[in-house]
Amino acid sequence: MEGVSTMVVLAAPITTGLTMVNAQTPRPVDNRDRRWGTWMVAAQTGNRTVYETLLRDCTPFIKTVARRQGVSPNYIDDVVQETLLTVHRARRTYDPNRSFSAWLRTIAQRRAIDGLRRQSRNGVWETHAPFAYENHPDPGRDPEEATNQVERTVRLDSAVSTLPASQREAVQHLALREQSLTEAAAVTGRTTGALKVNLHRALKTLRAQLGRQD
Amino acid sequence: MVTNSYDRLIQALGADLTPVRRLAPPGARTLIWLTIVGAIALALATVSDVGAMSRRLMAAPDMWLAAIGSLVTAVLAAVAAFQLILPDRKPAWALLPLPAAVFWVAASGIGCLRSWLVPETHPASLGEAETCLAFILGISVPLSALLIVMLRQGCPLRPNLILVIGGLACASAAATLLNFIHPYDATATDLTVHAFAVATVILANAIFGGRLLMGKDVLASV
């Protein structure tokens, strides 16, 4: 049923109510204004489809108003969204005997002025500096740190190579390859107890060697 | 179906759509608020000496002119405030109560001058002036709260301007009602206290009324 009523509203936008206007009030000025006015009346009764159509249809108009107010392109979307929210909040204040465009234009102008103020405030604190952004060093990516990491790896490899074969074997399987004691025992053919002892001795030796170098 | 980059917002607004009753005309809403003021006036009339008030107001033209000035200021400021909450009304509506306000201040000033020239006037003491201050502030608080609740039904695009005009309406209404319990002639001290009270009400409305007037954001989650 809503679909049928929606089609009727969309297809026949002119209502007799629009002819009963006060001579001193801004009248609907053209077909688009009458159409929007009729859609807004339908929206006031809760017709969601017509309401969404109205809001979509209005967005170019709101953008035009915002541009004429001097809002920069970066802030146009903000103004449109703020205006749509205000239209939603203020929908009960629309009087079908008056022009919808004038009603919407005033809301858009006020929101555009808010946008200009925000733009001005941000302009005081923010600077558009793309080169500064590009040249800003990433603290997580220190080239010197990468070199140090390579050096530490070389020193560790060298220290591990000087260990006795049984200890080196324990370090390689348990520490470097991160195997479990059971896995390492299966691979090397040693008992888990022997592996633990060899790892303990190897770490003690490495700690002593690397500590001396530092 | 036509789609654009605001579809998500538009769909959220559509989902939130409920039928609404169109806002009553500004004149009708003003009348409701003035009816409340009238009810307070009736209540005060039952506990005060209305005959003495009439005799005192009629004794000198400036007294009843000032009372009429404050009453007209209250009515016109309320009309202006209810007009200004409609988006397509011009901000020039804010000028509507200004002539009456000027008239009110001028008539009060004449009263002040008379009290200097005529020796047998009964000026208000400091304690009595404090009572005036407390009365204006005390009456203005509920009137302001009621007015703000009624104003927030609309769309206050210029909240500060609306709050100042609304504050003027409440303060001038309170000053009019003060006549029921004000058995003194106007003096400089008395009028200064009145002016201070009116200014305080307007300022308090402008400072504290904003949050009440604007209410919570629509669809804050969108």
Asked whether residue A170 falls in the same domain as residue A113, the answer is no
DSSP annotation string for A55-111: HHHHHHHHHHHHHHHT--HHHHHHHHHHHHHHHHHHGGG--TTS-HHHHHHHHHHHH
**In chain B, what is the straight-line distance between the N-terminal and C-terminal CA atoms, in Å?**
22
d(CA B143, CA B173) in angstroms, rounded, equals 9
Is A46 within a domain? Answer: yes
Asked whether residue A54 falls in the same domain as residue A21, the answer is yes
Is A90 within a domain? Answer: yes
Q: Which of A114, A105, A117 is nearest to A65 (CA)?
A: A105
Is the model's pTM score more than 0.80?
Answer: no
Is A131 within a domain? Answer: no
d(CA B173, CA B180) in angstroms, rounded, equals 12
**CATH number for the domain that contains residue A100:** 1.10.1740.10
Q: Which of B14, B151, B18, B86 is nearest to A103 (CA)?
A: B86
Is A22 within a domain? Answer: yes
Nearest CB to B19 within list A44, A55, A94: A44
Tell which of A66, A94, A126 closes a domain: A126
Look up residue B137 and give its amino acid. L
Asked whether residue A118 falls in the same domain as residue A152, the answer is no
Query: For residue A73, what pLDDT is reported?
Result: 85
Is A42 within a domain? Answer: yes
The ipTM estimated for the assembled molecules is 0.74
**Which residue out of A76, A79, A91, A100 would a mutagenesis test of the B interface target, given it has the greatest number of B Cβ atoms within 10 Å?**
A91
Is A117 within a domain? Answer: yes
Nearest CB to B14 within list A51, A85, A93: A51
Chain-chain contact of A88 with B22 (C-beta, under 8 angstroms): no
Query: For residue A26, what pLDDT is reported?
Result: 55
Is A134 within a domain? Answer: no
d(CA A161, CA A82) in angstroms, rounded, equals 68
Chain-chain contact of B18 with A86 (C-beta, under 8 angstroms): no
DSSP annotation string for A4-37: HHHHHHHH----GGGGS--TTSPPP-SHHHHHHH
Q: Which of A112, A115, A113 is nearest to A62 (CA)?
A: A112
Query: For residue B10, what pLDDT is reported?
Result: 92
Structure tokens belonging to residue A205: 């030796």
Nearest CB to A59 within list B4, B23, B85: B4
pLDDT mean for each 10 residues of chain B (222 residues):
72 91 91 94 85 75 84 95 92 94 85 62 62 84 90 88 92 88 64 79 78 56 38
Pick the residue with more confidence: A41 or A149? A41
Chain A neighbors of B86, CB-CB under 8 A = 93, 95
Asked whether residue A155 falls in the same domain as residue A63, the answer is no
User: Is it the case that residue A15 has pLDDT exceeding 50?
Assistant: no
Chain B neighbors of A59, CB-CB under 8 A = 4, 6
B102-119 in b/e burial notation, b at 16+ Cβ within 10 A?
A: ebbbebbebbbebbeeee
Chain B neighbors of A91, CB-CB under 8 A = 20
State mean pLDDT over A1-22: 43
Structure tokens belonging to residue A121: 């405030």
Chain A neighbors of B154, CB-CB under 8 A = 90, 93
Query: For residue B30, what pLDDT is reported?
Result: 94
β-bridge mates for residue B185, sequence order: B123
User: For the purposes of burial, counting CB atoms within 10 Å of the CB of A60, is it exposed (0-12), middle (13-18) or buried (19 or more)?
Assistant: exposed
Asked whether residue A83 falls in the same domain as residue A170, the answer is no
Asked whether residue A22 falls in the same domain as residue A60, the answer is yes
Compute the radius of gyration of chain A from its Cα atoms: 37
Using beta carbons and an 8 Å cutoff, which residues of A are at the interface with B? 26, 43-46, 48-49, 51-53, 55-57, 59, 77, 80-81, 84-86, 88-95, 98-99, 102-103, 106-107, 110
Asked whether residue A33 falls in the same domain as residue A119, the answer is yes
**CATH number for the domain that contains residue A152:** 1.10.10.10
Asked whether residue A108 falls in the same domain as residue A175, the answer is no
**Orientation of helix B61-84 relative to helix B98-117, angle to 10°:** 160
**Orientation of helix B61-84 relative to helix B126-151, angle to 10°:** 30
Label residue A17 by pLDDT band (50, 70, 90).
very low
Whole-number Cα distances in Å, A58 to A33, B19, B26, B30: 10, 20, 27, 32
User: How far is C-alpha B25 from the geometric centre of its chain's CA atoms?
Assistant: 19
Which uninterrupted H or E stretch holds B96?
none
The alpha carbon of residue B206 is apart from the nearest alpha carbon of chain A, in Å, by: 19
Nearest CB to A84 within list B13, B17, B86: B13
Are B209 and B144 within 8 A, CB to CB? Answer: yes
Asked whether residue A8 falls in the same domain as residue A114, the answer is yes
Asked whether residue A7 falls in the same domain as residue A36, the answer is yes
Chain-chain contact of A110 with B18 (C-beta, under 8 angstroms): no
Using beta carbons and an 8 Å cutoff, which residues of B are at the interface with A? 2-7, 9-11, 13-23, 85-88, 153-155, 157-158, 217-219, 222
Query: Which chain A residue has the Cα nearest residue B5?
Result: A77
Chain B neighbors of A5, CB-CB under 8 A = none
The alpha carbon of residue B89 is apart from the nearest alpha carbon of chain A, in Å, by: 8
Chain-chain contact of B87 with A45 (C-beta, under 8 angstroms): no
Structure tokens belonging to residue A187: 């691979």
Q: What is the 3-state secondary structure (H, E, C) of B7-41?
A: HHHHHHHHHCCCCCCCCCCHHHHHHHHHHHHHHHH
Structure tokens belonging to residue A134: 């590009």
Average pLDDT, rounded, for chain A: 81
The alpha carbon of residue A128 is apart from the nearest alpha carbon of chain B, in Å, by: 25
Is A137 within a domain? Answer: no
Pick the residue with more confidence: B180 or A29? B180
Query: Which chain A residue has the Cα nearest residue B13?
Result: A88
How many structural domains are present in chain A? 2
Tell which of A69, A92, A126 closes a domain: A126
Structure tokens belonging to residue B164: 């100042």
Query: For residue A72, what pLDDT is reported?
Result: 85
Query: For residue B93, what pLDDT is reported?
Result: 94
Asked whether residue A89 falls in the same domain as residue A17, the answer is yes
> Looking at A37-51, A113-127, B70-84, which range is the least confident one?
A113-127
Residue numbers of the domain that contains A151 = 147-213
Asked whether residue A56 falls in the same domain as residue A86, the answer is yes
d(CA B88, CA A81) in angstroms, rounded, equals 19
* Interface A:B, Cβ pairs < 8 A: 90
Q: What is the percent of chain A where pLDDT is above 70?
A: 82
Chain-chain contact of A56 with B13 (C-beta, under 8 angstroms): no
Query: Which chain B residue has the Cα nearest residue A92?
Result: B22
